[in-house]
Structure formats: structure tokens, C-alpha cells
């Protein structure tokens, strides 16, 4: 479960689709919101100060702490009020779409995020429920948000999203989606009221460049996704350099 968001049918943006006029025409019929548009009509209509008593998902804390020299200091911190006993707030799902004979793609979503006032490019994600492991959350959230069934490959270490501002944390969970699995032929999301998410895929071999392109079109890019894509690009460049030696 996560703060309200929203989904439209799956749309692939891999090189193969871009190169195929037949598939490109098909994707246009499936596209209820233009994938090149950084606006879907959502907008912030007011911005006011909220008391912590009215907040459902987050709270503010004033921390008193002592530094390494023994000096007492103060710190302002935002915290989630939804953390369960696992100690892990949330997961982001790096879901790899595998199609026979085609390049691997990363399953992503576009959704309007009011704090940024932008439609953001993100990996599927969600909060960890009580009694769940991060891996169980990843499989559940992937099915709910996209309709796809996946298999967990690996989980990351615990990641703190913005440690100078908040104690919020998460794990990246890497999931394989086998498109030869009959359950993935016609994925049906199981969305909560108010969720609007356009799911699509980007090719892994030039993921960072594609995210840069989307940013230039006015989309926001989630920090975890952007950092992972940059790391992937660095690894690809390292392999090329090593091969050239």
C-alpha cells in the first residue's frame, strides 16, 4: 500500500518497437495519454502549511543530538509514520522484462507527483506491510501496479533516501519478468482508487540516455532510478574500456 497514485495499459518503448512501424502504430492505439507528453492535466491548486496532527503518512521531528566533540546540537527530520516492525519502509522494484529475441527492458511507470509538480519516471514501488519481507512486498506491488508476475533475483542493502533530511529507507528488489509465462500475456493491474500510472518499458542498453531524453521533455526522474541508470552506464563503459585494452 502507498499514498494514492493511478494505471493505464502497458506500453513498450524499446528500440524494436521504435524501429517497427507496425508496432509503433499499435502502440498509438494503446496509448490513452501521450507518452511524449509531460502533462496529463494533473496540477497542484494550493500549497499550505500542514500540522503534524493532520498528516497521515509523514511527521516532523526535532532531534537533539551530541556530536563527536561532545557539543549538543539540534536537527529537523521528516519521518514516515507508516514504518512496520521489519524496519524497512518501502521497496522499489527493478523489474527486467525478458522477451525471446529482443533486448531486455526495464518496466517503469509515469505518474504525477504533487510535491514535484511533474509527471515522474519511476520504478514500481510501495510500502512494506506488517508481516511482509521486502521481497514479498515487491512481488505484491508489482502485481498490483502493473499486473505482471515476477521472480525475485536479488535485493539491495538498506538504502536511506535522503539521510540529511529524513530517516526514510528502502530496498531495491531486482525482479525478472518472463514474457513466455502465460500469466504475463495480458497483465491486469489491481489499482487502488485514485491511482493513475502509465506503465512502459525502456531498453537497458541505453537507459540513461532515454531518461535524459525524458527529462528534456519535462518529466521528472526518480533519484533511485536515475542513480541506478547512471551506475549501469558506468558499468557498460567500463566493460567497453576493458574490452579495448
Class of domain 8-38+56-204: alpha beta
Taking the CA atoms of 111, 117, 125 and 5 in sequence, report the sign of the dihedral they define. negative
Give the residues across from 77 on adjacent strands: 61
pTM, whole model, 2 decimals? 0.82
pLDDT band at 244 (very low <50, low <70, confident <90, very high): confident
Taking the CA atoms of 223, 236, 151 and 121 in sequence, report the sign of the dihedral they define. positive
Q: What is the pLDDT of residues 122-143, one digit of tens each?
A: 999 999 999 999 999 999 999 9
Helix (H) or strand (E) holding 202, with range, is strand 198-203
Q: What is the pLDDT of residues 179-198, one digit of tens each?
A: 999 999 999 999 888 889 99
Residues 89 and 132: their CA atoms lie apart, in Å, by: 11
pLDDT band at 27 (very low <50, low <70, confident <90, very high): very low
Q: What is the pLDDT of residues 35-90, one digit of tens each?
A: 457 888 999 999 999 998 999 999 999 999 999 999 999 999 999 999 999 999 99
Start-to-end CA distance of the chain, whole Å, equals 49
pLDDT, position 38:
87
Amino acid at each position: 500500500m502507498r499514498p494514492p497514485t493511478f494505471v493505464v495499459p502497458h506500453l513498450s518503448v524499446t528500440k524494436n518497437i521504435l524501429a517497427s512501424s507496425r508496432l509503433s502504430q499499435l502502440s498509438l492505439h494503446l496509448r490513452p495519454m501521450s507518452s511524449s507528453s509531460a502533462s496529463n492535466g494533473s496540477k497542484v491548486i494550493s500549497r499550505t502549511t500542514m500540522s503534524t496532527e493532520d498528516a497521515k503518512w509523514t511527521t516532523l521531528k526535532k532531534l537533539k543530538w551530541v556530536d563527536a566533540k561532545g557539543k549538543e546540537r539540534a536537527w529537523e527530520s521528516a519521518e514516515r509514520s507508516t514504518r512496520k516492525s521489519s524496519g524497512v519502509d518501502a521497496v522499489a522494484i527493478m523489474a527486467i522484462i525478458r522477451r525471446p529475441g529482443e533486448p531486455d527492458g526495464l518496466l517503469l511507470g509515469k505518474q504525477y507527483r504533487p510535491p514535484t509538480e511533474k509527471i515522474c519516471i519511476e520504478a514500481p514501488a510501495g510500502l512494506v506491510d506488517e508481516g511482509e519481507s521486502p521481497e514479498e512486498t515487491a512481488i505484491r506491488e508489482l502485481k498490483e501496479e502493473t499486473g505482471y508476475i515476477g521472480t525475485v533475483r536479488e535485493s539491495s542493502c538498506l538504502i536511506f533516501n535522503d539521510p540529511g533530511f529524513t530517516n526514510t529507507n528502502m530496498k531495491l528488489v531486482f525482479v525478472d519478468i518472463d514474457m513466455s509465462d502465460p500469466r504475463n500475456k495480458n497483465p491486469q493491474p489491481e489499482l487502488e482508487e485514485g491511482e493513475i500510472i502509465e506503465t512502459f518499458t525502456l531498453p537497458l542498453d541505453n537507459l540513461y540516455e532515454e531518461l535524459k531524453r525524458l527529462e528534456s521533455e519535462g518529466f521528472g526522474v526518480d533519484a533511485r532510478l536515475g542513480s541506478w541508470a547512471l551506475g549501469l552506464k558506468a558499468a557498460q563503459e567500463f566493460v567497453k574500456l576493458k574490452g579495448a585494452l
